[in-house]
Amino acid sequence: MDKLFLATRNKGKIEEFSELLAPYKIEIVTTYDLDKPLDVAETEDTFRGNARLKATAYMEHTGYPSLADDSGLVVDVLNGRPGVCSARYAGDESTDRENNKKLLEELKNVPKEKKTAKFISAIALVFPNNSVQIVEGSCDGLIIDEPKGNNGFGYDPLFFVPEANKTYAEMTPSEKNKYSHRAKAMQKLSRILPSVWR
């Protein structure tokens, strides 16, 4: 059975990717299977670049085809911030609450209709022969003035999806998978996997 390394410590992502890869004869290996996981600095200025960086580092470290994703929130009126710094927007060790607070402070004088934003997810799959596949998914929404919902993580309570009339944090996991940026990227990956994984 072929092996694939998932370059993430996020158990929710591992579960999502494992489900996507279930139809294939692939054994999933994760950072939890390593004695010494890498600490890959996300130094690129795009989601695609960081996803490729992480996947390449783990492919070289393990010798297995490796998959990584990088994702975050892009707010139009903030010129794309927090962007690739979404997880550390209020500081390197910032919490979700601190990041959300900083975002709301920056948008406090912005009219509601101008608080347009999108979540973006880039997924990179890197093989030992250095071939690379990168897919991207996005979801358009608005940033609201106060958190709503108790599900999800990060900026989910502030990200309102007009199509669903809910924030990410108000959605069940199955609902979120109909709209989310990562689910859309994973759908694209599932369409190309048969041609790249033989």
Catalytic residues: 70
| Cα–Cα dist 184/179, whole Å | 7
| Cα–Cα dist 107/115, whole Å | 8
Structure tokens at 66: 């490796």
Three-point CA angle 27, 29, 33, nearest 5°: 135
**Do the beta carbons of residue 106 and residue 80 sit within 8 Å?**
no
Three-point CA angle 62, 68, 72, nearest 5°: 150
**Do the beta carbons of residue 14 and residue 6 sit within 8 Å?**
yes
| Cα–Cα dist 164/155, whole Å | 17
